[in-house]
Structure 1
Amino acid sequence: MSSKHHIFLTGTPGVGKSTLCQKALQQAVEKGWHCAGFYTEERRDDRGERCGFDVVTLDGLHGPLARVSMGRGPRVGKYSVDLASFERLALPALSVLKQGPPTLVLIDEIGAMELFCRPFFPAVRAVLDAPNVVVLGTIPLPKEGRVFREVAEVSARPDVEVLTVTRANRDVLVSEVVAKLQASLLRSAQRATAL
């Protein structure tokens, strides 16, 4: 039996990590799995240029994560992070019950913008430690030898498998990720029955 319980995807920006997560999530919903969490979505202006990101919860709520034009809040490159919006949306989406049906939790992503929110990473840790939860998440590649401490902690967990997404493998990885998640959810259900 595999000790790897959670899956995190990494890869270069724009390679398709979030898209892969959404495809896997769509299959999970079709299979009737209980799902929670959030993903991030690009926002583009009228010229088609990226102007920011939104956070979208799996129960349909959405709001700004970061914008080029905001000017307030912490900054990541040219983007200002809307901490109040992120906390209002993402933190409740990670508040899964520690008992109940096995749940797939999507965390897209654990990155620079999200980590400005101080309660975020403790919430991520709690989700990863919950016995009835399987996480599908995304993490950034190390940049110029710099790794976020939180990303290093997640990657080093014995119950986490990190898969690198490339343009060559991103389409075939969907079925592999879904199969691994399904096996983990089945193990969670068996553990819950045994208790």
Structure 2
Amino acid sequence: MPTRILLEGRPGVGKTTVVRRLAALLHTRKAVGFTTEEIRQGGTRTGFALEPLAGGLRAVLADVDFPGPPRVGRYGVDLGVMERLALPPLRSAATQPVPGELVLIDELGRMELACTAFQDTVRCLFTSEIDIVATVHAKSDPFTDALKQRAGIELIQVTQANRDTLPEALAARLESP
């Protein structure tokens, strides 16, 4: 049975850092997916950038100055960034999984889930045979609540107490035969 881990935590607790460190620690597995990161100007959060794990392009997913739609809170979201950068490697992993490949998604949040094609791809991934580690927000959401209730899902709380040791523990577990 494939590994299905959802890393749940409040904003700013370190979910993205856990995923990035996990990706860097993997030696026998190829990770595909993406991370997101806050964009700050003068100490104020003004948006979010998305970066595929494969590197290369990085793009602004959401910004206070983007008109939307959609809008999530005070941010306009550029769904084209999801289509161009996040979806191609995820669709490939869902339809043509490579042995040893691991999907890392940061995050299954409101901005990312505003993209219907992303929701469809995530559903497909969670019915495939590929291992998945994804971050989710602690707030209730119909899409992520349904994922959390699926059989075989392991929900791990990311806290200040475990965020520094969690990447190594996950890497050891995911790379063991």
For normalisation by structure 2, the TM-score amounts to 0.91
Mapping for residues 10-159 of structure 1, pairs under 5 Å: 10-28=8-26, 31-45=27-41, 47-60=42-55, 61-95=57-91, 96=93, 97-131=95-129, 133-142=130-139, 147-159=140-152
Q: What displacement does 1:159 show?
A: 2.0
Unaligned runs of 5+ in 2: none
- The alpha carbon displacement at 1:148 in A equals 1.4
For the residue of structure 2 that corresponds to 1:152, the secondary structure is: helix
> Could you list the per-position Cα deviations for residues 18-60 of structure 1 after superposition, in whole angstroms to 9, with x for gaps in the alignment?
10111111001xx131111111111122x23211001111122
Amino acid at match of 2:49: D
- Please give the secondary structure, in 1, of the residue aligned with 2:151: coil
Distance in 2 between residues matched to 1:119 and 1:152, nearest whole Å: 18
1:75-112 deviations in whole A, cap 9, x for unaligned?
Answer: 11111111112221111121214343221111111111
Helix, strand or coil for the counterpart of 1:119?
A: helix
Deviation, structure 1 residue 150: 1.2
Q: Is the 8 A contact 2:28 2:175 kept in 1?
A: no
For 2:134 and 2:68, the matched residues in 1 are separated by 28
- Matched position secondary structure for 2:126: helix
Give the residue type in structure 2 aligned to 1:74: P
| Aligned-partner SS, 2:159 | coil
TM-score by length of 1: 0.83
Q: 1:23 to 1:98 in 2, by over 3 A?
A: same
Deviation at 1:4, TM superposition (A): 6.9
SS in structure 1 of the partner of residue 84 of structure 2: helix
In 2, Cα distance between equivalents of 1:105 and 1:4: 11
Between Structure 1 and Structure 2, the one with more strand by share is 2
Paired positions, count: 174
Once residues 36 and 89 of structure 2 are traced to their aligned partners in structure 1, the CA distance between those partners, rounded to angstroms, is 13
1:122 CA drift (Å): 1.3
| Residues 38 and 93 in structure 1, CA contact (< 8 A), matched pair in contact too | no
CA contact (8 A) 2:7 2:157 kept: yes
Given that residues 48 and 62 in structure 2 are in contact (C-alpha distance below 8 angstroms), is that contact kept between their aligned partners in structure 1? Answer: yes
Structure 1: runs of 5 or more not aligned? 187-195
